[in-house]
Structure 1
Amino acid sequence: MKKFRTITSVILLLTVFIPMVYSQNSSTNAELSAYSVKRAVQGVNVNDKWSDAAWKGIESVKIQNYMGEMPKFKPQAEAKMVYDDNFIYVIYRVKDRYVRSITQKINGKVWEDSAVEFFFSPEANNPINYFNLEINCGGTPLFHHKKGKPTVEDIQKIEIAASLPKVVDPEITERVTWTMSFKIPLDMLEKYTNVVRPKAGVSWRANFYKIAEINSNKHYITWNEVKNPKPQFHLPQFFGVLNFQ
């Protein structure tokens, strides 16, 4: 009888616990931001401006969730994304202040400068295998993959266009709007991980970021909210969802 009561208690506990876990997971998924990524209707050039024909009518994501201490000036950042058979294209627009950029070495400490970042996993069901592309406002990139570092030769296959000079020093203290655009070749990504190529019905996981660590207006801003007590972008469980159309 004692053994029967023990088994019954365990069953009752599981009956309560399993729905709770399912509910928590469902709630977490429901909180993820989602972005509908359209197929490019015409060729996209990295030098195309925010309002040019290639980007006209493309909705943007708002990068507005702050981590850590609130900065004295709150940059306004947003991004747009489209794709075709061979590339993914992203453009950022940042209404900023206290802008500084000095890193010129590929895979250098670009995150210390005024920079934007795009973390993405081409495997929606396995977001831990993600790439992180970080580019300072002068156009110098850092590009890594969770399993290892792509070669400099491959990184240079990512076309980048920055609206600001390569070096921004001294710091721009007045308000300034700058843009950053890039195109990433899908076949290059396939050298480092399994890539589910974009097409209607395919989803990836990703997050868009704005950062500046070493200037007079330190900040960390995200698209999908990252629930962590300290600023940290390398948390793929908080990536939002890219739904390709």
Structure 2
Amino acid sequence: MIYTIHRTNQPPRYRGEWNDTVWQHAEIASIEKFHPQSSAFRPKTEVKALYDDTNVYIIFRVQDQFIKATYTTYQDPVYRDSCVEFFVMPMSPERGAAGYFNVEMNGLGMMLLYYIEDATRTTQGFEKFTKIPQERLRGMTIFHSIPAPMQEELTTPLEWIVEYNLPFSLFEAYLGELRPIAGTRWRGNFFKCGDDTSQPHWASWSPIGEALNFHQPDKFGLLQFA
């Protein structure tokens, strides 16, 4: 799987406008490879990405139903809600790949974010990982179209969007200088899940194989900077 991240001359406006002029230059990736353990519900989920000298920009659009939006604190287990995820492994020309970042976000724009160097499962989570401190997120802007938490699952159809930026400085705090230029190749994957919804599902852009485990760097696709 290959996704090309095009350069943008201006940042998005963080209004959740999927068809805004800025986003019209981005390719669309479909998150449509559902794991067999998923329920029969198959929400249509798409994502776009762009970059400039300082950020990579992401927008997800989900045509959803059976929606949960309950977690409201940074580093909460938002994957239990209706959630979209971007796992990205920056790659330095000098050092190659080290670890990856798992950006997991529910429809409220609430996020779980680790830097994972060894994804072997343990009772603590992973063999080697770092919970990203919230102060590292100061350069981020997040738009979310679901305005407030839902006490009960919403069972009527709803399209929801999250849109955000990831500063390259966030990655560089752990990996050193790596600003991508045209031709740079990273690795990553995009996901949609809803572990604790009444219709649980797990979908990916790049196939994850038989194991129900998003944390498989060897299954990541190619992210190519144009």
TM-score by length of 2: 0.89
Greater per-residue helix proportion = 1
Aligned pairs for 1:110-189 within 5 A: 110-123=78-91, 126-127=96-97, 129-146=99-116, 147-189=129-171
Shift of 1:242: 0.6
Q: Is the 8 A contact 1:205 1:239 kept in 2?
A: yes
The DSSP-based 3-state class of the residue aligned with 1:169 is coil
Shift of 1:150: 1.6
Shift of 1:48: 4.7
Hey, what's the Cα distance between the residues in 1 that align with 2:57 and 2:49? Answer: 6
Shift of 1:41: 2.8
Does residue 88 of the first structure (1) align with residue 56 of the second (2)? Answer: yes
Shift of 1:128: 5.1
Is the deviation greater in 190-199 or in 145-154?
190-199
Task: Indicate how the Cα distance of structure 1 residues 195 and 65 shifts in structure 2: closer, same or farther if over 3 A, else same.
Answer: farther
The DSSP-based 3-state class of the residue aligned with 1:225 is coil
The DSSP-based 3-state class of the residue aligned with 1:72 is coil
Does residue 198 of the first structure (1) align with residue 180 of the second (2)? Answer: yes
Q: Is the 8 A contact 1:127 1:236 kept in 2?
A: no
The DSSP-based 3-state class of the residue aligned with 2:159 is strand
Shift of 1:156: 4.5
Q: Is the 8 A contact 1:138 1:168 kept in 2?
A: no
The letter of the residue matching 1:182 is: Y
RMSD: 1.6
The letter of the residue matching 2:109 is: G
Hey, what's the Cα distance between the residues in 2 that align with 1:188 and 1:121? Answer: 13
The DSSP-based 3-state class of the residue aligned with 1:148 is strand
Unaligned runs of 5+ in 2: 117-128
Name segments (4+ residues, structure 1) moved above 3 Å. Answer: 124-128
Q: Larger Cα Rg: Structure 1 or Structure 2?
A: 1
Shift of 1:57: 3.5
Unaligned runs of 5+ in 1: 1-32
Hey, what's the Cα distance between the residues in 2 that align with 1:192 and 1:150? Answer: 10
Does residue 55 of the first structure (1) align with residue 36 of the second (2)? Answer: no
Shift of 1:224: 0.3
The percent identity for this pair of structures is 31
Aligned to 1:243: 224
Does residue 38 of the first structure (1) align with residue 20 of the second (2)? Answer: no
Hey, what's the Cα distance between the residues in 1 that align with 2:61 and 2:166? Answer: 18
Aligned length: 212
The DSSP-based 3-state class of the residue aligned with 2:14 is coil
Task: Indicate how the Cα distance of structure 1 residues 177 and 195 shifts in structure 2: closer, same or farther if over 3 A, else same.
Answer: farther
Shift of 1:205: 0.2
Q: Is the 8 A contact 1:122 1:197 kept in 2?
A: no
Aligned to 1:73: 41
Does residue 223 of the first structure (1) align with residue 193 of the second (2)? Answer: no
Hey, what's the Cα distance between the residues in 1 that align with 2:55 and 2:102? Answer: 16
